[in-house]
Amino acid sequence: MKELKLTASIANIPQVTGFVEGELEALGCPMKTQMQIDVAVDEVFTNIASYAYGSGQGDATVRFEADKENGMVSITFMDTGHPFNPLKQKDPDVTAPADKRPIGGLGIFLVKKTMDQVEYKYEDGMNKLTIRKKLNA
């Protein structure tokens, strides 16, 4: 398990994706899977940076865990911002024309569709969102 703790800021997205990419490359992750994980990491961290602390600022921790035996990686995003479960939001109607859809929700929908598992819990005063992906799926 490895962790990266930093300010939840849009400016830190490259540092977060670089951290995750480095871990994935060390595991020999296929490029297609790495790209799917990159998009999910970018989306989740962007949401934390944009909304978790309202107009204030706070920290976030990104935890990377590899289950080599099962070929699965888990990435957990933790913040002490406002409690918010993005998984309880209604999925957008992707069949509706883009100009008729309300703004928001498409990113987490994409995360749910591309990852093998997505879990949220609020415990110990923290939002914890975990995404899991098989490396050779």
Name the residue ranges covered by the structural domains of the chain. Answer: 2-134
Phi, psi (5° rounding) for residue 92?
-70, 155
What are the backbone dihedrals phi and psi of residue 4, each rounded to the nearest 5 degrees, phi first?
-130, 125
Per CATH, the number for 2-134 is 3.30.565.10
State the pairing for strand pair 59-67/126-134.
unpaired
pTM: 0.90
CA distances from 106 to 46, 81, 94, 100, 128 (A): 13, 21, 8, 13, 20
In the block, residue with structure tokens 């934390």: 48
| 92 vs 42: CA distance, rounded Å | 19
Residue 104 has pLDDT above 90, yes or no: no
Q: For residue 55, give the DSSP letter.
A: T
Residue 29: per-residue pLDDT: 95
pLDDT of 130 reads 98
Strands 72-79 and 59-67, bridge-based pairing: antiparallel
For the stretch 80-94, pLDDT in tens is 999 999 988 765 555
